[in-house]
Amino acid sequence: MSLLRPLLLDVVPTIQQTAVLALGRLANYNDDLAEAVVKGGILPQLVYSLVEQNRFYKKAAAFVLRAVGKHSPQLAQAIVDCGALDTLVVCLEDFDPGVREAAAWAFSYIARHNAEDFLANIVT
């Protein structure tokens, strides 16, 4: 994870997108790798970049959030704690249907652990 993190800030957009996709695939593989993404401090960087990047990056970043959030309530809460929900709401309004779909999938995987808390965070 520490080797992929600097690539998220690369000046070449395709390198950034590839690094995000690699993080998503690693996090999707098992909960230990998903936890490593959280402990590596990568989520806040993804959330911050999510609004400013192109549609390919947005889809890949939403995939990372989905992959991390699917494993456990604690990992889903880590996504909520880093402020990703507000950013995902913005992605639901994106012009690209792929970005909207990726954001919806991320919401669904995060919410499946505790829907009541999830809805309370969206409403507030």
Range of the domain at 40: 5-123
For the chain, what is the domain count?
1
Query: What was the pLDDT predicted at 52?
Result: 84
pLDDT means per 10 residues, the chain with 124 residues, are 88 94 94 92 89 90 94 91 92 94 93 68 57
Please enumerate in sequence order all residues whose Cβ is within 8 A of that of 64, keeping only pairs 6 or more positions apart, or say none. Answer: 20, 23, 24, 27, 37, 42, 43, 46
- CB distance 55 to 96 below 8 Å: yes
- CB distance 73 to 31 below 8 Å: no
Query: What was the pLDDT predicted at 124?
Result: 52
Please enumerate in sequence order all residues whose Cβ is within 8 A of that of 74, keeping only pairs 6 or more positions apart, or say none. Answer: none
CATH number (domain holding residue 100)? 1.25.10.10
Distance between CA atoms of residues 108 and 122, nearest Å: 13
